[in-house]
Amino acid sequence: MDRITLTGLRARGFHGALPEERVLGQTFVVDVVLGVDTRAAAADDELSRTVDYGVLAEEVTAVVAGEPCRLLETLAQRVADRCLSHRLVREVRVTVHKPQAPIAVPFDDVAITIERTTTSSSDRSPA
C-alpha cells in the first residue's frame, strides 16, 4: 500500500468538553496518512486515478471547522470517515492535535491518533 501524507492542516474549530471551548474555539491541527494504491495513477500520470490531496485538505479542514463535538475521538472519526469516502482510499491514519487544550500544567501538545480501514468506517459514500 502506498501512502499519501498531509501534515499540519490547520482550522479553527469549536470542539471540547468545556463550555468555553465551544464558545471561544481554538486552532486544531490534523495529520492524515492515506493508504492508496497509486500504481494506476503513476502509470497513466493521471490525477483522476489517485486522491487529489488539495481537495482532501479542504474537506478535512471543513470537518474541523464544521459541527462541534465534545471529544477529539469524535472529531478524528469524522475526519477518517471523510477520507475513507474517497473510493481509492483503503486505509487512513488520522492524528488530531489540540495544542491549546485547557490543561493546568505546561505541555507541548495533546493529540489522538486513530487508524481505520474501508471495512471499519461507518461511512463509505463514494466521492
| Catalytic machinery residues | 98
Nearest to 31 by CA among 15, 48, 9, 53: 9
Instruction: Name every residue whose Cβ is closer than 8 Å to that of residue 62 and which is 6 or more positions away in sequence.
Output: 11
Distance from C-alpha of 101 to C-alpha of 16, rounded to nearest angstrom? 9
What whole-number distance in Å separates Cα of residue 5 and Cα of residue 31? 7
Q: Can you say whether the dihedral through the CA atoms of 65, 110, 35, 46 is positive or negative?
A: positive
Q: Kindly tell me the sign of the dihedral angle through the C-alpha atoms of 54, 124, 119, 63.
A: positive
